[in-house]
Amino acid sequence: MRKYIRFLHHILVLFVYILILSACSAIPRMDWTVRVDAVSQTLELSYADLAELPQTELKDVLMQKTTSEDTNDSWSGPALTEIMNTAGADPNFSSILVTGIDGYQAMLSPGELEGAIIALKKDGEWIAETDMGHGPIRLVCPKTPANKWVYSIVEIQFMP
Protein backbone atom coordinates (compact mmCIF):
# COMPACT_ATOMS: atom_id res chain seq x y z
CA MET A 1 0.00 0.00 0.00
CA ARG A 2 2.86 2.40 0.82
CA LYS A 3 4.41 1.85 -2.59
CA TYR A 4 1.08 2.63 -4.22
CA ILE A 5 0.71 5.87 -2.23
CA ARG A 6 4.31 6.86 -3.00
CA PHE A 7 3.68 6.15 -6.67
CA LEU A 8 0.53 8.33 -6.66
CA HIS A 9 2.46 11.08 -4.86
CA HIS A 10 5.15 11.04 -7.58
CA ILE A 11 2.53 11.15 -10.30
CA LEU A 12 0.82 14.10 -8.60
CA VAL A 13 4.12 16.00 -8.21
CA LEU A 14 4.95 15.35 -11.87
CA PHE A 15 1.50 16.54 -12.95
CA VAL A 16 1.81 19.77 -10.95
CA TYR A 17 5.30 20.36 -12.36
CA ILE A 18 4.02 19.94 -15.92
CA LEU A 19 1.14 22.34 -15.24
CA ILE A 20 3.53 24.96 -13.88
CA LEU A 21 5.87 24.61 -16.86
CA SER A 22 3.04 24.85 -19.37
CA ALA A 23 1.60 27.92 -17.64
CA CYS A 24 5.00 29.63 -17.64
CA SER A 25 5.66 29.02 -21.31
CA ALA A 26 2.15 29.46 -22.65
CA ILE A 27 1.86 32.01 -25.43
CA PRO A 28 0.13 35.12 -24.09
CA ARG A 29 -3.25 35.87 -25.62
CA MET A 30 -2.66 39.09 -27.54
CA ASP A 31 -4.89 40.94 -29.96
CA TRP A 32 -1.95 42.22 -32.03
CA THR A 33 -1.40 42.18 -35.77
CA VAL A 34 1.58 43.16 -37.87
CA ARG A 35 1.06 44.14 -41.50
CA VAL A 36 3.90 42.91 -43.73
CA ASP A 37 4.04 44.65 -47.11
CA ALA A 38 6.19 42.49 -49.36
CA VAL A 39 5.54 44.65 -52.48
CA SER A 40 3.91 41.82 -54.44
CA GLN A 41 1.54 40.97 -51.59
CA THR A 42 0.48 42.10 -48.15
CA LEU A 43 0.26 39.73 -45.23
CA GLU A 44 -1.24 40.15 -41.76
CA LEU A 45 0.52 38.19 -39.01
CA SER A 46 -1.11 37.87 -35.61
CA TYR A 47 0.84 37.60 -32.38
CA ALA A 48 0.00 33.88 -32.34
CA ASP A 49 1.27 33.53 -35.94
CA LEU A 50 4.59 35.11 -34.91
CA ALA A 51 4.84 32.83 -31.88
CA GLU A 52 4.25 29.75 -34.05
CA LEU A 53 7.06 30.57 -36.49
CA PRO A 54 10.48 29.02 -35.79
CA GLN A 55 12.10 31.01 -32.97
CA THR A 56 15.67 32.32 -32.99
CA GLU A 57 17.46 33.11 -29.75
CA LEU A 58 20.05 35.88 -29.57
CA LYS A 59 22.18 35.76 -26.42
CA ASP A 60 24.00 38.66 -24.76
CA VAL A 61 23.12 41.24 -27.41
CA LEU A 62 24.53 44.71 -26.73
CA MET A 63 21.69 47.23 -26.70
CA GLN A 64 23.38 50.55 -27.47
CA LYS A 65 21.12 53.24 -26.02
CA THR A 66 21.27 56.97 -26.69
CA THR A 67 19.74 58.24 -23.43
CA SER A 68 20.70 55.66 -20.81
CA GLU A 69 23.27 53.01 -20.01
CA ASP A 70 23.86 50.23 -22.54
CA THR A 71 22.67 46.74 -21.58
CA ASN A 72 23.30 43.16 -22.63
CA ASP A 73 20.15 41.09 -22.98
CA SER A 74 18.97 37.89 -24.59
CA TRP A 75 16.07 38.03 -27.05
CA SER A 76 14.02 35.44 -28.92
CA GLY A 77 11.46 35.51 -31.70
CA PRO A 78 11.13 34.74 -35.39
CA ALA A 79 14.02 35.82 -37.60
CA LEU A 80 13.21 38.68 -39.94
CA THR A 81 14.28 36.40 -42.80
CA GLU A 82 11.58 33.92 -41.70
CA ILE A 83 8.95 36.67 -41.88
CA MET A 84 10.34 37.80 -45.23
CA ASN A 85 10.03 34.24 -46.59
CA THR A 86 6.53 33.82 -45.12
CA ALA A 87 5.42 37.05 -46.80
CA GLY A 88 7.12 36.19 -50.09
CA ALA A 89 9.28 39.33 -50.09
CA ASP A 90 12.09 39.72 -52.62
CA PRO A 91 15.34 38.68 -50.87
CA ASN A 92 17.11 41.46 -52.81
CA PHE A 93 15.14 44.26 -51.10
CA SER A 94 16.94 47.61 -50.80
CA SER A 95 15.65 48.49 -47.32
CA ILE A 96 12.76 48.03 -44.94
CA LEU A 97 10.59 50.58 -43.19
CA VAL A 98 9.40 49.47 -39.75
CA THR A 99 6.58 51.39 -38.06
CA GLY A 100 5.59 51.29 -34.39
CA ILE A 101 2.13 51.91 -32.97
CA ASP A 102 3.25 55.40 -31.86
CA GLY A 103 4.16 56.34 -35.45
CA TYR A 104 7.93 56.00 -34.90
CA GLN A 105 9.62 54.66 -38.03
CA ALA A 106 13.05 53.31 -38.83
CA MET A 107 14.45 52.73 -42.32
CA LEU A 108 17.07 49.98 -42.29
CA SER A 109 19.39 48.59 -44.94
CA PRO A 110 20.03 44.86 -45.37
CA GLY A 111 23.42 45.28 -43.64
CA GLU A 112 21.78 46.76 -40.54
CA LEU A 113 19.35 43.84 -40.45
CA GLU A 114 21.94 41.08 -40.24
CA GLY A 115 20.70 38.61 -37.61
CA ALA A 116 17.55 40.68 -36.92
CA ILE A 117 14.53 39.14 -35.21
CA ILE A 118 11.06 40.26 -34.24
CA ALA A 119 11.47 39.68 -30.51
CA LEU A 120 8.63 38.23 -28.47
CA LYS A 121 10.77 37.44 -25.42
CA LYS A 122 13.47 39.31 -23.51
CA ASP A 123 15.66 37.31 -21.14
CA GLY A 124 13.27 34.35 -21.43
CA GLU A 125 10.14 36.32 -20.48
CA TRP A 126 7.30 37.30 -22.81
CA ILE A 127 7.63 41.03 -23.51
CA ALA A 128 3.82 41.18 -23.59
CA GLU A 129 3.76 40.16 -19.93
CA THR A 130 6.78 42.05 -18.58
CA ASP A 131 7.20 45.25 -20.61
CA MET A 132 4.05 46.11 -22.55
CA GLY A 133 5.33 49.69 -22.81
CA HIS A 134 7.95 48.36 -25.22
CA GLY A 135 6.03 45.43 -26.60
CA PRO A 136 4.45 43.09 -27.19
CA ILE A 137 6.94 42.73 -30.04
CA ARG A 138 9.99 44.66 -31.11
CA LEU A 139 12.62 44.64 -33.80
CA VAL A 140 16.03 43.60 -32.45
CA CYS A 141 19.05 44.15 -34.72
CA PRO A 142 22.27 42.95 -33.08
CA LYS A 143 24.49 45.04 -35.38
CA THR A 144 22.48 48.28 -35.11
CA PRO A 145 22.09 50.87 -32.31
CA ALA A 146 18.88 50.51 -30.29
CA ASN A 147 17.31 53.74 -31.59
CA LYS A 148 16.38 51.70 -34.69
CA TRP A 149 14.92 48.83 -32.65
CA VAL A 150 11.29 49.76 -33.20
CA TYR A 151 8.93 48.50 -30.50
CA SER A 152 5.19 47.81 -30.70
CA ILE A 153 5.57 47.11 -34.43
CA VAL A 154 2.42 47.42 -36.53
CA GLU A 155 3.94 47.40 -40.03
CA ILE A 156 7.00 46.15 -41.90
CA GLN A 157 7.45 47.34 -45.50
CA PHE A 158 10.04 45.72 -47.76
CA MET A 159 11.29 48.26 -50.31
CA PRO A 160 12.35 47.06 -53.79
**What is the pLDDT tens value at each position of the chain, 160 positions in all?**
666 565 554 454 444 334 343 444 599 998 999 999 998 899 999 999 999 999 999 999 988 777 778 888 999 999 999 999 999 999 999 999 999 999 999 999 999 999 999 999 999 999 999 988 889 999 999 999 988 999 999 999 999 9
Range 29-159 classified under CATH 3.90.420.10: yes
Choose among 72, 34, 73: nearest CA to 51. 34
**Rounded to 5°, angle at Cα 59 from 145 and 66:** 20
- Is-above-0.85 flag for pTM? no
Exposure on the CB side of residue 116, measured as CA atoms within 13 A: 27
